[in-house]
Chains A and B, each alone.
Chain A
């Protein structure tokens, strides 16, 4: 019977034209936003030139590739210093068509390449510092942390070089999570407020003993649809980035990215993205359950939209001002550094559980107080 109830809730959402149209709109918005953000990284002679150089140097690192890049950069730099370049007409024997452009590209790529080559020695230095800390510190907790960090940093090495510009942009793609949140809130409006507005919730209250199952099936639907929608948005983002050129490097270690240099967890970039997705999903669901709690007091869809927009706006403002540090789990980066992932998850699971309990209590009693 619960399966039929879930099937009913599923049909309600799948058959709803507004839900389908909204989701397509969110996919289009996501698409446009990615293209807008990456416009400067895709089009133009500089990017064409960069891609040509990357074709030569990407892949397993080698002295030969490094020497080629250093030589090429020096050649371009020399020409720039001699004033032997033209910014108006394209010059032959360059990748981007411009000497100055090639000098800039090779300079940036050389910095990245050197980071990859020198990573092992940088980590060695870090381990030396950690060793000193372990010896000197009297604080047993710090000592323990430093030993653990040393253990994790040991034996790290980078043997492949890839350009991570698009991967970085993909990882910082927060807009899709905002879209997921909007979709999640629309689901709550559709499954709870809309039923009140159309008075179809009457059937729940007549069926009496089934209310708990109805509530659970609705909660499951929110969970399932939010999961699927955010996954589809993530896949869409990945595919767009793939077509924009993000073809390699996803399975490289996370520390291959310079801002994750001393990242204590030995995970791949791909795994980080998956973790980030799940943590943001929890954040998204937390907000929707908070909103669900407020739904009890709303009986018109437009009021729901208004309140939802207000909540999202306030939350973003608070988050930007670090006032919502409690949701630090939503940024995996911060959480990993603070090593509070599991604590925050537990805390939030507890809050959500309690919130759902109260919401269920209100849901169960709603009709008694609102009729007439």
Chain B
């Protein structure tokens, strides 16, 4: 399955939420990266037909996207799990099955997939945060959608639950397009096929993590500075990591200019995030 997004724009009154986005997505996991207000939720909402775009087109397998006809190919996991907490997992999924017009015999299989089968008859309000998130994913995948959209699924989860979630998404990703919106870029490490960077509604970059690391490595430097000089470096450069070494500090920073410092041997996705959005946080 392929999604072709051409020149997609969305405005809220006079504010530009999405600005001429063009993307081609095929099967695999994609990380939609950006700080708050970058346009991630708007992008996902348009894709699953929750809101209408002002201009541009979306084509799925070269067929023009009409939300009413394609609703069954999408599964959407909202930002915070919107669940009916008084219902049991089974009752909730039965209701979702009715909404999606599918047979309810999918429930057991889906609950097993998200590792919640033992909680089938437990009320949702008694589930942990991670379990609720998995149930939220269960409602999205119960109709075996070809495109799965997850809006900040890892927010508020502990490391073990994050790992569990990543494994689940990896298992689900076969022959599916999964778009995960997040501002926690580490979550995409060894998971996403490509990363899509949004900033102020614009597409900044769209590359695989390896390509990004290779192309941006040249802008990162590392050096050892004394405690007295540390503050000066922080103010001058975008410092992405500070590691204390005895009385000094080993810092990693990026600069668009050629600096007289040695280049970093390794950079990670957090460094890339800082590269793209460091200025956003500076302004705050």
Contacts and interface: CB of A to CB of B under 8 A. Distances in A.
Given A8-B91, A199-B82, A372-B42, A207 B99 contact: yes
Contact of A8 (B17, B71, B98): B98
A136 interface: no
Contacts of A372: 12, 17, 41-42
A205 B50 contact: yes
Chain A interface bracket (under 10, 10 to 19, 20 to 34, 35 or more): 20 to 34
Interface string A195-211: 00011101111111110
Indicate the member of A199, A200, A204, A208 with the most B CB atoms within 10 Å: A208
Contact of A15 (B50, B83, B86, B139): B86
A8 B94 contact: yes
A11 interface: yes
B237 interface: no
Contacts of B91: 8, 11, 15
A17 B123 CA distance: 13
A17 B87 CA distance: 11
Given A205-B50, A372-B17, A4 B82 contact: no
Given A8-B91, A203-B82, A214 B99 contact: yes
Interface size class of B (residues with CB under 8 A): 20 to 34
Interface in B102-151: 104, 123, 139
Interface in B29-73: 41-42, 45, 48-52, 67-68, 71
Interface string B166-185: 00000000000000000000
B86 A16 contact: yes
B50 A367 contact: yes
Contact of B96 (A2, A203, A208, A209): A203
Contacts, number: 86
Interface string B80-102: 10111011000100111111110
A208 B99 CA distance: 9
A1 interface: yes
Interface in B149-163: none
Contacts of A303: none
Contacts of A17: 86
Contacts of B45: 371
B221 interface: no
A312 interface: no
Contact of A203 (B41, B52, B94, B139): B139
24 contacts: A1-B101, A2-B98, A4-B95, A5-B95, A5-B99, A7-B94, A8-B95, A8-B98, A8-B99, A11-B87, A12-B84, A199-B82, A202-B50, A203-B99, A205-B49, A205-B50, A206-B48, A206-B76, A207-B99, A214-B99, A367-B50, A367-B51, A368-B52, A372-B17
Interface of A: 1-5, 7-8, 11-12, 15-17, 198-200, 202-210, 214, 367-368, 371-372
Interface of B: 12, 17, 41-42, 45, 48-52, 67-68, 71, 74, 76, 78, 80, 82-84, 86-87, 91, 94-101, 104, 123, 139
